[in-house]
């Protein structure tokens, strides 16, 4: 499928990845007819105002809103979910689970509207936690999601919706594509307020420590837990490639550049030109001890994998967050 021939709706368009995706598709001349998010437009990370694009504020947990969201479209991107970093996920399991209503209702509406392709943004949180107990983790393969023991709450919601996509394709011939995102980061995302993920949180903490003159930083966990982080540009390219492909099974979409959280802090300190004293909050939410993406399958099927190095992506993210702080955006976020 060539997306240039389609009418596209992006659900979750006011979020970090969704806002970037709308911009990415528009920049290639794609016909994005509708962008939908639950947040007021004043809180969207990016609002794109172009002729023919309808920016809609709607709660997609409601089936009626889903019917209206997909009306007149042929491709649905489902990136809508109530989520955040590990602090939010571990403390809001029921809220995360309620996103199953979004995926289920969008699939029902897409089937009813005769949509040609449905993309679902899943997560590495679907993977069996037994395979992520040590920092020296073996990279996760797509088949490692079963037997099922995903991240409680958020991971179960993602895995359930993956199965819904599978069965809507089997039973109703609705072509579905699923990407399992691994820790996406970059500019125009959450960096304060409790929903931020590790790269943005570390950037913010280092910037604040540098400018305050209080050269110390609090790190959640012991700093030895390992992760891989994918820059937003790689996420967008991979999302488009997977959506246009003939791959029917869920596919990893993530960098395989594994680092410890301490090494992540090292990189941000290097970018900032400071060295900070570290304090470890061992009782803070930290997720699994180790997680990395096995990219064997995406390389086999698409001949491509995410390749933007963490140091490069962090430098861009750091510069953007530093500018946000300089313009007083942190106070605005804290007030929400």
* Calpha distance 50→241 (Å, rounded): 24
* Calpha distance 192→96 (Å, rounded): 19
> Of 127, 154, 181, 318, which residue is the catalytic one?
154
One domain for residues 160 and 39: yes
CATH number of the domain residue 263 falls in: 3.90.25.10
One domain for residues 242 and 219: no
Where are the strands (E) in the chain, listed by range? Answer: 7-11, 31-37, 54-57, 75-78, 117-123, 175-181, 184-185, 216-220, 226-228, 230-231, 251-253, 258-260, 277-281
One domain for residues 139 and 106: yes
In a domain, 297, yes or no: no
* Calpha distance 241→327 (Å, rounded): 36
One domain for residues 211 and 323: yes
The answer to whether 78 and 157 are in contact (CB under 8 A) is: no
Tens of pLDDT, residues 289-328: 889 999 999 999 999 999 999 999 999 999 999 999 998 7
User: Burial code of 23-57, b = ≥16 C-beta within 10 A, e = fewer?
Assistant: ebbbeeebbbbbbbbbeeeeebbbbbeeeebebbe
In a domain, 191, yes or no: no
149 in helix, strand or coil? coil
The answer to whether 109 and 63 are in contact (CB under 8 A) is: yes
One domain for residues 272 and 149: no
* Cα radius of gyration rounded to whole Å, the chain: 19
96 in helix, strand or coil? helix
In a domain, 301, yes or no: no
Confidence bin at 11 (pLDDT 50/70/90): very high
In a domain, 262, yes or no: yes
In a domain, 192, yes or no: no
One domain for residues 42 and 169: yes
Q: pTM of the full predicted structure?
A: 0.94
DSSP string, 255-279: ---EEEHHHHHHHHHHHHT---EEE
Tens of pLDDT, residues 51-90: 889 999 999 999 999 999 999 999 999 999 987 777 787 8
User: Burial code of 189-205, b = ≥16 C-beta within 10 A, e = fewer?
Assistant: bbbbeebbbbbbbbbbb
One domain for residues 144 and 203: no
The answer to whether 225 and 289 are in contact (CB under 8 A) is: yes
One domain for residues 12 and 104: yes
One domain for residues 219 and 275: yes
One domain for residues 23 and 57: yes
Q: Is the pLDDT of residue 193 over 90?
A: no
CATH number of the domain residue 171 falls in: 3.40.50.720
* Calpha distance 236→17 (Å, rounded): 8
In a domain, 204, yes or no: yes
Domain count, the chain: 2
> Which residue range(s) make up the domain with 136?
3-185+231-253
The pLDDT value recorded for residue 330 is 53
Confidence bin at 255 (pLDDT 50/70/90): very high
Tens of pLDDT, residues 173-192: 999 999 999 999 999 988 98
One domain for residues 263 and 181: no
Q: Which of 1-5, 55-59, 95-99, 194-198 has the lowest mean pLDDT?
A: 194-198
In a domain, 72, yes or no: yes
* Calpha distance 97→100 (Å, rounded): 6
Signed CA dihedral, 134, 138, 144, 147: sign only? negative
One domain for residues 38 and 172: yes
In a domain, 299, yes or no: no
Active site residue 154: yes
């Amino acid at each position: 499928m060539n997306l240039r021939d389609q009418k596209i709706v992006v659900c979750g368009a006011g979020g970090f990845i969704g806002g970037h995706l709308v911009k990415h598709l528009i920049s290639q001349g794609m016909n994005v007819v509708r962008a939908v998010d639950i947040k007021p437009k004043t809180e969207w990370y990016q609002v794109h105002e172009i002729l023919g694009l309808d920016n809609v504020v709607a709660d997609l947990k409601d089936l009626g809103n889903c019917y209206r969201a997909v009306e007149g479209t042929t491709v649905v991107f489902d990136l809508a979910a109530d989520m955040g970093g590990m602090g939010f996920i571990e403390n809001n399991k029921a809220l995360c689970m309620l996103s199953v209503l979004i995926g289920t209702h969008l699939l029902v509406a897409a089937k009813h509207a005769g949509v040609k392709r449905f993309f679902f943004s899943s997560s590495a949180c679907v993977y069996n936690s037994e395979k992520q107990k040590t920092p020296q983790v073996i990279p996760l393969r797509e088949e490692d999601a079963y037997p099922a023991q995903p991240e409680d709450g958020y991971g179960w919601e993602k895995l359930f919706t993956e199965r819904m996509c599978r069965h809507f394709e089997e039973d109703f011939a609705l072509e579905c594509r699923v990407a399992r995102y691994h820790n996406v980061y970059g500019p125009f995302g959450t960096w304060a307020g409790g929903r931020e993920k590790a790269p943005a949180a570390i950037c913010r903490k280092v910037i604040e420590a540098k400018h305050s003159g209080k050269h110390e930083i609090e790190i959640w966990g012991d700093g030895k837990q390992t992760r891989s982080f994918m820059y937003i540009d790689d996420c967008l390219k991979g999302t488009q490639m997977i959506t246009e492909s003939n791959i029917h099974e869920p596919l990893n979409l993530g960098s395989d550049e594994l680092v410890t959280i301490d090494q992540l802090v090292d990189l941000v300190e290097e970018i900032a030109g400071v060295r900070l004293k570290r304090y470890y909050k061992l009782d803070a939410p930290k997720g699994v001890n180790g997680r990395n993406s096995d990219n064997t399958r995406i390389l086999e099927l698409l001949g491509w994998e995410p390749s933007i190095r963490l140091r490069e992506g962090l430098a861009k993210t750091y510069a953007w967050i530093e500018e946000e702080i300089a313009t007083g955006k942190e106070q605005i976020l804290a007030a929400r």
